[in-house]
Amino acid sequence: MSEENKTCSKIDEVIEQFAFQGQLITKKLYRNGHINDTFLIVYQLPDGSRKQYILQRMNHMIFKQPEELMENIVNVTEYLRKVILSQGGDPERETLNVVKTRKGESYYKDSSNNYWRVFLFIEHTICLEMVESEKDFYDSAVAFGTFQRMLADYPASTLHETIPNFHNTPSRFRDFKKAVEKDIMGRAALAREEIAFALEREAETSALTDLLKSGELPLRVTHNDTKLNNILFDADTKKALCVIDLDTVMPGLSHYDFGDSIRFGASTGAEDEKDLSKIGVDLSLFEAFTRGFLEGCQGSLTEKEIEMLPMGAKLMTYECGIRFLADYLEGDVYFKIHREGHNLDRARTQFKLVADMESKWDELTAIVEKYKHSC
């Protein structure tokens, strides 16, 4: 039986654990992301209406403590629910809602030791894989900035670190160097230029963590995976509605959220584009995101944080590049791939973006400077 069929055969066992109402009419793979497996479950209620749920199999090879991860998500979403209510919003649409099992647990561990969870499906939304307009990107920036601000008073020390050193770039660099040295797949010869590009930039890897250590940058509660496709937009108004994919919500630097969004959304091409001539940083998108993010943060960022935002964009892009490249060298064990060399292609786009940011550094810093005092 293929892995996918084995997974699907588990779904019946899993949904039995939840007190869903009505008759099951659909269970299908919804989206195959880089990390988790996402399914759509649809029930027909006696009055003929439908109720949809998102069912996810968590990747416990990557998130080694799924229990702790779910504790974070339950606590953070319950906190957000209160904030959203106090602002007159709708918490069933503006944050994720965990559906508990019949036993009142936030996850179910199946007979093959896979971990599953269910969220209410947020209806009438769309998810963007690429920026379609500057306005969408600006809206996503406000949403991620607002997310960070809403969690500003959340007791960060109570959050579990779901992946230790997730955005610790020097630690990622050490892992990358080990992967190059071991070269277990014999692929390093196929990526000489990319390896050299990454090694040349070692000195900069600690630009943010050094400032954190010296107390010049504050630790905050951050999302840490702020790709555009981790936002749901209202299908009618096209407004950014809900920040999703909360697996990596942990203490971090505001630069991680700013930078990861720029890396993904301000690129002129897809993350896995093979034609590198299509890849660069779009300055208008960079500007739209900077404006939106600072507005969303509502003056909560320090001068030093703002000054370092371009470095956040560069380091998050670089870091993602070395993660993709290390995974290529290690045999594609972390990020799911859909073609041969996929992770190498992904690493190449990230490094092309880094190089483009370097060549546009003065423009990037001028844009940040322009909005520094306006928010």
Which of 7, 36, 162, 317 contacts ligand ADP by CB under 6 A? 36
| 39 token code pair | 């399914």
Q: Which is nearer to ligand ADP, 35 or 221 (CB)?
A: 35
Query: Residue 101 and residue 335: Cα distance in Å, rounded?
Result: 29
Number of residues located near ligand GN1, criterion CB under 6 A: 13
Tell me how far apart the alpha carbons of residues 332 and 261 are, in angstroms, rounded to a whole number. 24
Residues that bind Mg ion (CB under 5 A): 230, 245
- Look at residue 125 and give its three-state secondary structure: strand
Scan residues 55-94 and list those touching ligand GN1 (CB under 6 A): 62
Q: For residue 73, how many other CB atoms are within 10 A of its CB?
A: 20
- As a whole number of angstroms, the longest Cα–Cα distance in the chain is 64
Residue 29 binds to ligand ADP (criterion: CB under 6 A): no
- Contact between 118 and ligand ADP by CB under 6 A: the answer reads no
Integer Cα distance of 6 and 342 in angstroms = 25
Q: Segment contacting ligand ADP (CB under 6 A): 172-180, 190-198, 229-237, 278-286?
A: 229-237
Per CB under 6 A, the segment of 50-58, 90-98, 131-139, 240-248 that binds ligand GN1 is 240-248
Taken in order 235, 237, 242, 243, is the CA torsion positive or negative?
positive
150-209 residues in contact with ligand ADP (CB under 6 A) are: none
Q: Which is nearer to ligand GN1, 34 or 81 (CB)?
A: 34
Q: Which two tokens stand for residue 202?
A: 């070692």
Check if the beta carbon of residue 57 is closer than 8 Å to that of residue 36.
yes
Q: CB under 6 A: which stretch of 133-141, 187-195, 224-232, 299-307 binds ligand GN1?
A: 224-232
Q: Which stretch binds ligand GN1 (CB under 6 A): 33-41, 94-102, 193-201, 208-216?
A: 33-41
Residue 263 or 291: the one with the smaller Cβ distance to ligand GN1 is 263
DSSP designation for 307: H
The nearer residue to ligand GN1, 336 or 372, going by C-beta atoms, is 336
Contacts of 15 (CB under 8 A, 6+ apart): 24, 27, 41, 55
Nearest residue to the partner Mg ion, using Cβ: 245
Residues 6+ apart with CB under 8 A from 139: 233, 238, 239, 240, 292
Closest CA to 76 of 211, 236, 250: 250
Q: What angle do CA 285, 234, 106 make, to 5 degrees?
A: 105
Applying CB under 6 A, among 168, 230, 290, 343 the residue interacting with ligand ADP is 230
For position 244 contacting ligand ADP by CB under 6 A, the verdict is yes
Q: How far is the CB of 55 from ligand ADP (least distance, A)?
A: 10
| 335 binding ligand ADP? (CB under 6 A) | no
**34 counts as binding ligand GN1 under rule CB under 6 A:** yes
x/- map, 37-76, ligand ADP, by CB under 6 A: -x---------------x----------------------
363 φ/ψ angles, rounded to the nearest 5 degrees: -65, -40
Given the complex with ligand ADP, which of 120 and 180 has the nearer CB atom?
A: 120
Q: In this chain, which of 6, 28, 31, 82 binds ligand ADP, going by CB under 6 A? A: 31
The strand pair at 108-109 and 220-222 is best described as unpaired
CB 13 within 8 A of CB 111: yes
Cα first-last separation, the chain: 56
Please give the residue ranges that form the binding site for ligand ADP (CB under 6 A).
Answer: 30-31, 33, 35-36, 38, 54, 96, 119, 121-122, 125, 127, 229-230, 232, 244-245
Please give the residue ranges that form the binding site for ligand GN1 (CB under 6 A).
Answer: 33-35, 62, 225, 227, 230, 245, 247-248, 260, 271, 320
